[in-house]
Structure 1
């Protein structure tokens, strides 16, 4: 049952547990086994430019608001904006070899109701579909739920972005619906697909992530032995 009756006999939502507002996320490094998320700084520009240069067709930029970077100046301009932004709060992703492999962010941060979103996710091709890519998202989730006590974590994407929708569902997000003509970017319409994880769902998902990310779940080539959904 997801509601109670008030004194007038009307259905109302269950009382919210915990105290609010929740803390605003500190912009600090988040370290895992495979990746580290560090606050984005202008000094990361060359590493990010090199990482995205691996995507010679520019396919990774299709569903982002920015056009593909052409020069170091483009990367530096992005990093300057990112390091001055509190929302979105950008992180540079560095792999276990110390090489920059992409960026991501926390945004739509609402401490008053304990809600937060992951977005502006851009991985270099070598990071995609790896344990490191999954861990990058897990670090954000753990930061929100375990460190900060948030009650809702959102994922939104262009409804035509099949890989992003598949990633959300693989990570355990629940599809909530599509907002039609929600915005315009790059001169075109965007219907936005909404997904979420709630605090009550998080403990079981976190256990699954912990089991899946164990080194024993990967062979010598880095290929998974058990799928995430089976952990």
Structure 2
């Protein structure tokens, strides 16, 4: 295809004087994610193992005073540890989703989970979902480092072009978390899902590979020990660091609470 000079906006124009997208001449399909552990300073991501992780996860989830952390997930809350185990067994066997236990290194105990899912290897697109943070994980550095490690896998290890985050449009904590981590809001799909006998409008967010270097640098700066005072309080907000690197101000809040697909 012959391509003429771009118009003043920078968009490429083909021989029919139609606008076309940026060239990706050397693109090849990306590998399906390897379901293997990865470690950071405060946490490890381990492939979900119901035999190893259920007890600690039940203890961590049970610390919540009520079931509100499960409102926007299509599962839970669970009546007892056996019910949670049955759910984890089903998810661990899922061929579509790769669930990880987020393990606190200081205690060697699982304190939450999330999953890589809906991998589109041909186009280099994947989603992070089923984000389930227990009270022990919410509003901690561990929560941010866990997401950073997953992002490194997606962009640095696998070379994907796009990481998606989707949630119920009414799930304010999840939407705030997405924005804090550097995801950009793309729109809302109306009446996209039926779950728990109710309709869900789904808010879509994404990070693309051209944004990742700036977001990665901001996450590293936020996670650095010098960003915290002697009381463990952050000196700079992650949203500010991301905004400075991307050339805009992020309005995301501090360390987020629970978030979910």
| TM tier relative to shorter chain | over 0.9
Taking a change above 3 Å as real, the CA distance of residues 10 and 30 of structure 1, as seen in their structure-2 partners, is: same
Please give the alpha-carbon distance, in whole angstroms, between the structure 1 residues aligned to 2:123 and 2:55.
38
- Aligned-partner Cα distance in 2 for 1:86–1:134: 26
1:118 to 104, 118, 128: 128
Distance 1:229 1:222 in 2: 18
Structure label with greater radius of gyration:
2
Matches within 5 A, 1:154-173: 154-173=164-183
Aligned residues: 231
TM-score (norm 1): 0.96
- 1:52-77 Cα offsets, whole Å, 9 max, x none, are 00112111111011121112211211
Find the counterpart in structure 2 of residue 67 from structure 1: 76
| Residue 109 (str. 1) matches residue 115 (str. 2) | no
Between the aligned partners of 1:85 and 1:2, the Cα distance in structure 2 is 43
Q: Which residue of 1 aligns with 2:14?
A: 6
Distance 1:16 1:2, change over 3 A: farther
Question: In the aligned structure 1, how far is the partner of 2:105 from the partner of 2:227?
Answer: 17
Query: Which residue of the other structure, out of 204, 212, 222, is the alignment partner of 1:212?
Result: 222
Structure 1: gaps of 5 or more residues = none
Residue 94 of structure 2 is matched in structure 1 by 85
Deviations 1:71-130 (A, max 9, x none): 221121122112212321100011122121010001111110000111100111121121
1:18, CA displacement in angstroms? 4.3
Aligned-pair CA distance for 1:205: 0.7
Alpha-carbon deviation of 1:17?
5.3
SS in 1 for 2:136: coil
Q: Please list, as runs of the form range in 1=range in 2, the aligned pairs for 1:169-184 lying within 5 A after superposition.
A: 169-184=179-194
Q: Out of 25, 44, 59, which is 1:50 matched to?
A: 59
Secondary structure at the counterpart of residue 44 of structure 2 = strand
Q: Which runs of 5+ in 2 are unaligned?
A: 1-8, 242-261
Q: Quick one: structure 1 residues 3 and 85, their matched pair in 2 at CA, closer, same or farther if it must change by over 3 Å?
A: farther
Partners of 1:215 and 1:28 in 2: how far apart?
27
RMSD: 1.3
1:33 corresponds, among 13, 30, 41, to: 41
How many Å separate the matches in 2 of 1:177 and 1:14? 22
* TM-score scaled by length of structure 2: 0.85
